[in-house]
Each structure stands twice: as C-alpha cells, then as structure tokens.
C-alpha cells in the first residue's frame, strides 16, 4: 500500500483514526449519564467537526483538519483521554454486599443468654426469663443488676396486689381481708428495702457485699412470710366475693413466685461478685 501523505499529515491521520477509535468508549461514558447520547450520534458529530470535505484530499498532501476541530481539539483530547482510562464504579458492576452482623447484635444476644442461664437456676425459669429478659440490655450481664431487677419485679407485683385489695365497707369488720391488706403493705415495704440494699452491691467490696446480700435476703424472706399471711386471709368465703378472692389469690401466687426468683438470684451474688 502506497503512502500518499507527508509525515505531519500521517501524524494527523493517525491521530484522527485514534479519535474515531475512542468514539465508542466516549459514547459509553456519555450514554451512562445521558441516555439521549448514542455512539452513532457521537461518530457523526466527530466526523462533522474533524474532517474537511473529501474533495479537499485531492489537493493536499494529507488530511485537512477543519477550523472547527482546531478550536475544540484541547477539550476533545481531554475527554478522549478520560474515556480511555474510565472504568465503571464498583456499584455499577455488582450490588453492594450485605452488611455484616454488627457486634452490638451479638452482645445483645449474649446478654439475653446470660439472663436465660441465671433464670434456669431458679424454681420458675420461664417466668424469670419472661420478666427479666426485657431488662437484659440494662443488666449488661451483671449478677448485681440482675438481682436488683428481680427485686424490682417483686416490688411491682406486691404493689399491684396491695392496690387490688378492696378496703372494708363502712362499719364492716376488717377480718381476714384486712389482715391480708396489712400483710401486703408490709411485704411492699420489705421488698423496697431489699431492692435498696441490692443497688449498692455492684460498687461494694469485701464484707459490705456480704452485708448487703444478707440484708436483702432477710427482707425478701420477710416479704414472703407476709405473702403467706395474705394468702391465708383470702381463704374464708366471707372475706370477699369469690371473683375478688380468686384474683387476689392469683396475684399473691405470682408475687410469691417473683420473690422466690429474687431470693435465688440474690444467693448467686456472693460467688459471682469479683469484688467479694
């Protein structure tokens, strides 16, 4: 094949061939951001801007660049250079991977399992877990905080019991129902004292831990004795209407179960407190 162009002309010819060769890549870049731009439109645009009419080739030693191309050569060269090195963003090639399991979720599960494990050592593991699992995040795998939460559950159950005991009617003797009301009020006070002692266990050291634990056990045991007294006062048929007595007996039974759970969890404190 005979070369019919001078060295500068051949250089321009090679350059223009390269420009048209990059047209497909540049079209892909532009089409990615503007769907109205296609490769064929870009080819026609470059041909119009770059090439002079074919008839000029017969009168020149090489291809003639149009004046339009001379004015836009720098920006076109820049765009083509960018197109040659352009790669699609990773997000366009494949969907982003699913986020990994967060450490917070694992910690939360561990806290729930801690509550479950402690409750398994009580007489009422299901009731214990149902009542204390919602407090797992605040307990934060602490035996002392778990004991406080359990004492608070006992206190809440006793408070609900005391609030449901109806006062005696005008002129009516208090009788057994009155004894139940007094016993329930005493049990509320004793459970509150136990919870107060337990709040200081986490920061206590040495003998103070033993003192607080022993004091809390004493108050909880006294509360259970008063619960039994209240339950005894609900058995006589004349103490209250049957539906009232049935509700109160159920509340006493639930309070005793929570007290038993609290006693078991408090007993775990001495062997599991690192400061003792």
Residue 130: enclosing H or E segment and its boundaries? helix 125-132
Please give the pLDDT value at position 160.
Answer: 96
Q: Residues 128, 131, 132, 137: what is their CA dihedral angle, to the nearest 10 degrees?
A: 150
- pLDDT computed for residue 40 by the predictor: 54
Quote the tokens at residue 104.
Answer: 């917070």
Q: Which residue has the tokens 């090195």?
A: 85
Half-sphere exposure of residue 260, counting CA atoms within 13 Å on the CB side? Answer: 16
What is residue 237's predicted lDDT score, i.e. its pLDDT?
A: 75
* CA pair distance 167, 174, nearest whole angstrom: 8
Q: Answer yes or no: CATH 1.20.140.40 is held by domain 119-272.
A: yes
Q: Is pTM, for the whole model, over 0.85?
A: no
Q: Are 177 and 165 in contact (CB under 8 A)?
A: yes
| CA–CA dist 65, 9 (Å, integer) | 10
Quick check: helix, strand or coil at residue 37? coil
In angstroms, the CA 225 to CA 265 distance is 18
Domain with CATH 1.20.140.40 in the chain: 119-272
C-alpha–C-alpha distance, residues 103 and 90, integer Å: 26
Closest C-alpha to 135, from 159, 158, 151 = 151
3-class secondary-structure state, position 71: helix
Q: What is the pLDDT along the chain (276 residues), one digit of tens a residue?
A: 444 444 444 444 444 444 444 444 444 544 444 444 444 554 454 454 444 444 444 444 444 444 544 555 555 555 544 544 555 444 444 444 444 334 456 778 899 999 999 999 999 999 999 999 999 999 989 999 999 999 999 999 999 999 999 876 654 445 778 889 999 999 999 999 999 999 999 998 889 999 999 999 999 999 999 999 999 888 877 777 889 889 999 999 999 999 999 999 999 997 665 454
Q: What is the pLDDT of residue 71?
A: 54
Number of Cβ within 10 Å of residue 205's Cβ equals 10
């Amino acid at each position: 094949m005979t070369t019919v162009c001078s060295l500068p002309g051949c250089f321009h010819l090679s350059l223009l061939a390269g420009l048209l060769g990059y047209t497909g890549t540049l079209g892909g870049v532009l089409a990615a951001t503007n769907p109205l731009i296609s490769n064929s439109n870009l080819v026609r645009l470059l041909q119009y801007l770059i090439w002079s009419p074919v008839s000029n080739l017969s009168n020149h030693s090489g291809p003639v660049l149009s004046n339009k191309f001379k004015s836009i050569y720098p920006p076109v060269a820049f765009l083509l250079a960018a197109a040659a090195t352009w790669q699609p963003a990773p997000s366009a090639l494949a969907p982003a991977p699913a986020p990994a399991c967060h450490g917070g979720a694992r910690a939360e599960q561990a806290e729930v399992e801690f509550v479950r494990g402690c409750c398994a050592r009580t007489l009422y593991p299901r009731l214990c877990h149902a009542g204390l699992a919602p407090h797992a995040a605040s307990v934060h795998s602490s035996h002392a905080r778990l004991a406080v939460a359990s004492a608070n559950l006992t206190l809440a159950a006793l408070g609900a019991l005391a609030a449901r005991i109806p006062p005696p009617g005008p002129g009516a003797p208090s009788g057994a129902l009155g004894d139940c009301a007094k016993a329930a009020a005493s049990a509320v006070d004793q459970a509150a004292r136990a919870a107060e002692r337990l709040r200081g266990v986490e920061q206590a050291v040495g003998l103070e831990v033993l003192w607080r634990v022993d004091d809390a056990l004493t108050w909880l045991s006294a509360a259970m004795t008063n619960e039994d007294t209240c339950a005894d006062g609900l058995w006589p048929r004349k103490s209250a209407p049957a539906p009232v007595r049935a509700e109160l007996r159920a509340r006493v039974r639930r309070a005793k179960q929570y007290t038993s759970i609290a006693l078991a969890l408090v007993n775990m404190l001495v062997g599991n407190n690192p400061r003792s």
